[in-house]
Structure 1
């Protein structure tokens, strides 16, 4: 993901790129931020699962503690009992996403994307589906732009991940020198209600393309 942003910005003044990168890095690396926000939001959205066996959450939390320490092997090991006992539980589904992220962190990006796309295809919850698609796209965007585009286009307009997906789609179009398509994607992200740093970036990207954002 970092490579895509760097390639798009390479024509800008080096100092400006550095400052912009430092300012936006928490958002650019929002793969991790959005990932965890999405995980906990999903647990909240799927409230009835909170009443199920508390052991599922204990297993999940135990694995997450190692994930946060970047102990990838131990994370994968601790997730296995969760899958075996609570594979269809909300925490079991989230655990599958954590497993996919550990694969991505250890260089097995295609396997990670395959797992997340498979989870999206099986999910009956739209929010979890969109989160899985978004993360699958993030781990493939630098190596397989066409697949990332396909995954991102499947995210629903009403999803909180859609504006971010459109930004990445716009960057991919820009990388392919399709500036009109890039402008359309950036503009649609704004129309869908992009806010904060994302909105600032989109305005700046449209400005570079010689466009003005329409409300």
Structure 2
């Protein structure tokens, strides 16, 4: 055996010894890191499975409550919704609160429904859900409350920069009309008609309100100089009625 081969074998043995020494030194760390990664993946998958299973269970409970309500068993529906609020996951407890408030309204407990919506509005961090709760409470109070009750809930939503402004203004207008403040009601309704983002169904509904006000004499009659938006709305409704009456005759 040549001298070079002897030195090469000795060098390889030394390197092998060093590698074994390094492995013995760092093997626990490497293995521990690998185990940690595996555990992390397992925990993440387990949590995803648990969350999905919990959401599925909450969904089943919500549909069970809805079925009970549709079947007329309001007591069972309320108990199921209460349980969902206490034990549900994700957004289902909030949905249960909204549905329970609706059940109170449908059962004739309008005061309880308003209180439930007010509680939702006070508890919600999501601004859109808070505004929805306020609008639903105001919708009840248009019939059962005062103008001040409605204003307390939706006046801040009737501003030009709020996406809920059209619904808020409609509820305000109805409450103002009920309270006898015709000028304020007309202004609220016309603000909706003049809103470029108001959709056709909303504009048609507001036009009917204004037409009814004009037919009762609440709004000043048409003048030769100018026509108010309310009078234009009344003319539009009259034209629709005339067209409907003329259609059978033309046939």
Structure-1-length-normalised TM-score: 0.66
* Other-structure match for 2:192: 189
C-alpha distance after superposition, 1:121-168 (max 9, x if no partner): 111112211111111112222221221232122436566543122112
Secondary structure at 2:197 match in 1? coil
Matches for 1:167-206 after TM superposition, within 5 Å: 167-190=170-193, 191=195, 193-206=197-210
Q: CA deviation at 1:101?
A: 1.2
Secondary structure at 2:229 match in 1? coil
Considering Cα pairs closer than 8 Å and 6+ residues apart, tell me whether 1 or 2 has the greater RCO.
1
Q: Is the 8 A contact 1:113 1:136 kept in 2?
A: yes
CA 1:117/1:205 → structure 2, altered by over 3 Å: closer, same or farther? same
In the alignment, the residues of structure 2 paired with residue 60 and residue 159 of structure 1 have an alpha-carbon distance, to the nearest angstrom, of 31
* Other-structure match for 1:72: 74
Matches for 1:22-171 after TM superposition, within 5 Å: 53-86=55-88, 89-145=90-146, 146-155=148-157, 157=159, 161-171=164-174
> Gaps (5+ residues) in structure 1?
1-49
Q: Is the 8 A contact 1:127 1:159 kept in 2?
A: no
C-alpha distance after superposition, 1:69-100 (max 9, x if no partner): 343222101112211112x7311011001111
Secondary structure at 1:53 match in 2? helix
Structure-2-length-normalised TM-score: 0.57
Q: CA deviation at 1:119?
A: 0.6
* Higher CA-based Rg: 2
Q: CA RMSD in A?
A: 2.6
CA 1:128/1:161 → structure 2, altered by over 3 Å: closer, same or farther? same
* Other-structure match for 1:212: 229
